Chains A and B, each alone.
Chain A
Amino acid sequence: AQSVAQPEDQVNVAEGNPLTVKCTYSVSGNPYLFWYVQYPNRGLQFLLKYITGDNLVKGSYGFEAEFNKSQTSFHLKKPSALVSDSALYFCAVIGAAGNKLTFGGGTRVLVKP
């Protein structure tokens, strides 16, 4: 069975500082990894995904994520956080054999001005 862990329920960061949201996964075979962001009372917006190739993936709104196979991690990063980045972030994985997304529990990001 595949699983995703987001160890931090909430991350607080000052505007302009680097932002990191952690994610580790467990899956059989090669993973497809995703990051989504959810604003209050809204659906999920796709940020980026990793399929294969370069371990550093660049996505929307200046976000990027680094795939680390040995640590089974896919941490989301942004060099300089904005107040508008405050939202709920979900990491998700699909195993190579299927098409079902398994989500982590979510990490709430609060960027303070």
Chain B
Amino acid sequence: GAVVSQHPSWVICKSGTSVKIECRSLDFQATTMFWYRQFPKQSLMLMATSNEGSKATYEQGVEKDKFLINHASLTLSTLTVTSAHPEDSSFYICSAQQYLASVGETQYFGPGTRLLVL
């Protein structure tokens, strides 16, 4: 149980184009999902918290107009990198939060999406 998928697993795009990344919780419903960014050999940096049916909450320094987040259902959140530039190249990882009465809340992570902007 608690499987999270991401699509695509990798994408190469030209500078100025937009890229959409999907995050799905496959076997549970998640009212809250998170989007992280990871630079090479570094830890994860939280970009935003995605709440089903409401606006995402962005971390300080993350441009909400640059990184559009939509959480339209309890199993799907999308991150759109708008007008991508080479500095947006990174590894993007989502997580979905599952709540169980026995263990509380736990985040389960997707496999990540590697974005390369040329």
Chain A residues within 8 Å of B, Cβ to Cβ: 32, 34, 36, 41-46, 49, 51, 90, 94, 99-101, 103-106
Since A46-B108, A99-B32 are in contact, a sample of 19 more A-B pairs with Cβ atoms closer than 8 Å, ordered by chain A residue number, is A34-B106, A34-B107, A41-B91, A42-B112, A43-B4, A43-B93, A43-B109, A44-B44, A44-B93, A46-B2, A51-B104, A94-B105, A99-B97, A100-B49, A101-B46, A104-B43, A105-B42, A105-B43, A106-B42
Q: A34, A45, A103: which has the most chain B beta carbons within 10 Å? A: A103
Number of A-B contacts (CB under 8 A): 52
Say how far A4's CB is from chain B's closest CB, in angstroms. Answer: 9
**Which residues of B sit under 8 angstroms from A41, Cβ to Cβ?**
91, 112, 114
B6 within 8 A of A: yes
- Tell whether, in the assembled complex, residue A49 and residue B103 are in contact, meaning their CB atoms are under 8 Å apart: yes
Say how far B51's CB is from chain A's closest CB, in angstroms. Answer: 10
- Tell whether, in the assembled complex, residue B43 and residue A106 are in contact, meaning their CB atoms are under 8 Å apart: yes
- Tell whether, in the assembled complex, residue B44 and residue A45 are in contact, meaning their CB atoms are under 8 Å apart: no
- Which B43-58 residues sit within 8 Å CB-CB of chain A? 43-44, 46, 49
- Tell whether, in the assembled complex, residue A44 and residue B97 are in contact, meaning their CB atoms are under 8 Å apart: no
- Tell whether, in the assembled complex, residue B103 and residue A51 are in contact, meaning their CB atoms are under 8 Å apart: yes
Beyond A43-B109, A99-B32, whether A32 also contacts B44 by CB under 8 A is no
- Tell whether, in the assembled complex, residue B2 and residue A42 are in contact, meaning their CB atoms are under 8 Å apart: no
- Tell whether, in the assembled complex, residue B44 and residue A103 are in contact, meaning their CB atoms are under 8 Å apart: yes
**Which residues of B sit under 8 angstroms from A100, Cβ to Cβ?**
34, 46, 49
Closest to A42 in B: B111
Q: Say which residue of B2, B32, B105, B111 sits within 8 Å of A43 (CB atoms).
A: B111
- Tell whether, in the assembled complex, residue B43 and residue A43 are in contact, meaning their CB atoms are under 8 Å apart: no
**Which residues of A sit under 8 angstroms from B107, Cβ to Cβ?**
34, 46, 101
A104 to B42, CA, bound (A): 10
Closest to B112 in A: A43
**Which residues of B sit under 8 angstroms from A51, Cβ to Cβ?**
103-104
Closest to B38 in A: A38
Q: Say which residue of B32, B103, B109 sits within 8 Å of A44 (CB atoms).
A: B109
**Which residues of B sit under 8 angstroms from A34, Cβ to Cβ?**
106-107
